[in-house]
Structure 1
Amino acid sequence: MDQQTPPFKCIWCHQQEPQVEFDKSHVIPQCAGNNDYTVLPVGIVCKKCNGYFGSKVEPHLLDDPLFHVIAVALELTNSKSKKPFRQKIFDKQHPSEERIKRHLSLKSTLSSNKLSLQISHQESGVLSRQYNTRELAWLSRAIHKIGFEAMAWDFYVRKKNIPIPIFDNSFAPVRAWAREGHPTNSIRPLLRFMGNKPAPQLEYQMWIQHGHKIYCWLNLYGDWYGMNFTSNSNTIDKHLAEWSPPIESNDIWVISNEMMSFDKYKIMHQR
């Protein structure tokens, strides 16, 4: 079992000092409300990998319509600048497909030269996105990055044991996908489930099957994701379809080369 102290060896590229330098790594982007709660200390992710994820991979999650709406609803604030991450649901990057409907109700009272206004304001519209395979691939990579670093955070910060050493070659598939986008001919699948309401927290749970297949169930502000860290590209679909996540399957959809219900996905791959 790995020692639960920062190894000064990058969990992504496996390079060590002095070949690379290290800094802190935010499991969830700092701009999206990570107030130094889920942060990996220096010595776990190198600056090069950290910078790559922050500039190339994570922006595709931050731009996702569902994550965008959650960020506005929870009033997520950049923990560094103290400014709101997103302020409006309908903006230039996320316009409504239909005309936005707005309702404003005012009730005024006057007492001793004091005017009080009871205000009710609502707006409604439709956000949608027609994903192409490139966008789905980037989103999958971003979520696998967060999931794998959440496992590292569980181990190095929360001091919880993991069944396989984090540098073990069993994790090569998830490292290659999140960091390099390999293999390039398919999208590493994952499950997605939107709960009843956003929640200002990150939850992480792990399942182990047959001693070597490791699954992660990640709650990202009420947006739930399920993924497999260890199966290769030849077995990932079969293994993910065999998994029984802790939520009714008819509420789950799959992000892969195309989006579909988990029930349909299981029929396709449980053979």
Structure 2
Amino acid sequence: MRCLFCKQDSSNTKSIEHIVPESLGNKKFILPIGYVCDKCNNYFAREVEKPFMQLNEIRLLRFQQAIPNKKKRIPIVEGILNERYEVKMERVIKNDEIYNGMQIPPELFSKIQNNDIKNMEVKLPAFTDNNIIKSNKVISRFIAKVALEALAEKLKHRDEGLEYLINDSQYDLIRRHAREGTTPDWPCNIRRIYKMNKSWEYNDGEIGQVIYECDFLFVTEDDKIVYSEDAICAELYFIIILWGMEFAINIGGPELEGYKGWLKRHNEISPLYYDKNSDIFK
């Protein structure tokens, strides 16, 4: 077996590759062991996923939604107490309950003990549904990594599916972008599709939030898929929605015109909520 990214032998791999990081609430969307080697797995954790998680918007999102990382830690957010004192707010999950805490400097603690401060109001920055993250290289590399892994997961039940992705040169550009950051400007289309706190009713009657959902979209000028010599003549886009925010990236190259054109032709409906290309991966 070879690694999806570095194409080197990955037979002795021990780590499990989460397509969407655990720090975004993913537990089940993973690749079989060996699809991504330990070296690439560790690299992505340090150089791709960590910078994404450290984006201010993502930190605020994880704090507000109480999303812990692998070590069960929720990001700490800085705030202002009574318009004057800098404090740090923290959230801890214990026994399925969320506890809020506040880290304060020693001098402030003394004032509280002496009843010099009786009423406390803390102002915190907030990530709301009106905040839209702007595309940048950190986001682009993260989505590129997720996109190629999601495609590998989609093809995992096909014979030689992994080898196809490794050997086909059309995936080398996005592969290098994710693994090495070789393309300075590879834009993502980012917009909000639904509110982050939207409640959904599942088939079993349970109510909950959708953390993430994703799929692929083939785009042509007339929305008709053309097959030529066992190939699909269309642009392939990957779309993922995280807490209501839709991220779209072109698998083949750093441009979005095809996707934007598709949206205009379909009343700006997200491809994840439109009957499209339903038979491609069957």
TM-score, normalised with respect to structure 1: 0.61
CA distance in 1 between partners of 2:25 and 2:256 (Å): 33
Deviation at 1:149, TM superposition (A): 1.5
**CA offset digits 1:214-238 (Å, max 9, x no partner):** 111101232220111013x5xx244
Deviation at 1:143, TM superposition (A): 1.7
Counterpart of 1:213 in structure 2: which amino acid?
Answer: E
CA distance in 2 between partners of 1:182 and 1:50 (Å): 18
CA distance in 1 between partners of 2:195 and 2:38 (Å): 37
CA distance in 2 between partners of 1:10 and 1:175 (Å): 11
**CA offset digits 1:185-225 (Å, max 9, x no partner):** x3101111233224442211111135241111101232220
Gaps of 5+ in 2: 85-120, 198-208, 220-224, 226-231, 271-282
* Match 1:191 to one of 189, 207, 211: 189
Gaps of 5+ in 1: 1-7, 101-120, 252-271
Deviation at 1:248, TM superposition (A): 5.7
Deviation at 1:16, TM superposition (A): 1.9
Matched, 1:44 2:35: yes
For residue 16 of structure 1, what is the aligned residue in structure 2? 9
Matches within 5 A, 1:181-260: 181-183=181-183, 186-194=184-192, 195-198=194-197, 199-209=209-219, 210=225, 211=232, 212-231=234-253, 233=254, 236-244=255-263, 249=268
Could you say if the C-alpha distance between residues 33 and 84 of structure 1 is closer, same or farther in structure 2, counting changes exceeding 3 Å? farther
Counterpart of 2:169 in structure 1: which amino acid?
Answer: N
Matches within 5 A, 1:102-117: none
CA distance in 1 between partners of 2:125 and 2:138 (Å): 26
CA distance in 2 between partners of 1:59 and 1:247 (Å): 35
Counterpart of 2:250 in structure 1: which amino acid?
Answer: N
Deviation at 1:32, TM superposition (A): 3.4
CA distance in 2 between partners of 1:215 and 1:246 (Å): 16
Tell me if the contact between 1:23 and 1:41 (Cα under 8 Å) persists in the aligned partners.
no
* Match 1:70 to one of 47, 58, 61: 61
Deviation at 1:28, TM superposition (A): 2.0
Tell me if the contact between 1:75 and 1:84 (Cα under 8 Å) persists in the aligned partners.
no
CA distance in 1 between partners of 2:181 and 2:7 (Å): 17
Tell me if the contact between 2:44 and 2:179 (Cα under 8 Å) persists in the aligned partners.
yes
Counterpart of 2:8 in structure 1: which amino acid?
Answer: Q
CA distance in 2 between partners of 1:58 and 1:192 (Å): 18
Tell me if the contact between 2:25 and 2:211 (Cα under 8 Å) persists in the aligned partners.
no
Tell me if the contact between 1:33 and 1:85 (Cα under 8 Å) persists in the aligned partners.
no
SS, match of residue 42 in structure 1: coil
TM-score, normalised with respect to structure 2: 0.59
CA distance in 2 between partners of 1:250 and 1:84 (Å): 36
For residue 149 of structure 2, what is the aligned residue in structure 1? 149
For residue 265 of structure 1, what is the aligned residue in structure 2? none
Deviation at 1:17, TM superposition (A): 4.3
Could you say if the C-alpha distance between residues 249 and 124 of structure 1 is closer, same or farther in structure 2, counting changes exceeding 3 Å? farther
Tell me if the contact between 1:206 and 1:214 (Cα under 8 Å) persists in the aligned partners.
yes
Identity rate of aligned residues, in percent?
Answer: 21
For residue 136 of structure 1, what is the aligned residue in structure 2? 136
SS, match of residue 219 in structure 1: strand
CA distance in 2 between partners of 1:245 and 1:169 (Å): 31
Pairs aligned (count):
202
Tell me if the contact between 1:22 and 1:44 (Cα under 8 Å) persists in the aligned partners.
no
Counterpart of 1:189 in structure 2: which amino acid?
Answer: P
CA distance in 1 between partners of 2:51 and 2:265 (Å): 27
**Which sits farther off after the overlay, 197-206 or 49-58?**
197-206
Counterpart of 1:33 in structure 2: which amino acid?
Answer: G
CA distance in 1 between partners of 2:214 and 2:269 (Å): 22
**RMSD (Å), alpha carbons:** 3.7
SS, match of residue 58 in structure 1: helix
For residue 166 of structure 1, what is the aligned residue in structure 2? 165
Tell me if the contact between 1:74 and 1:200 (Cα under 8 Å) persists in the aligned partners.
no
Tell me if the contact between 1:32 and 1:85 (Cα under 8 Å) persists in the aligned partners.
no
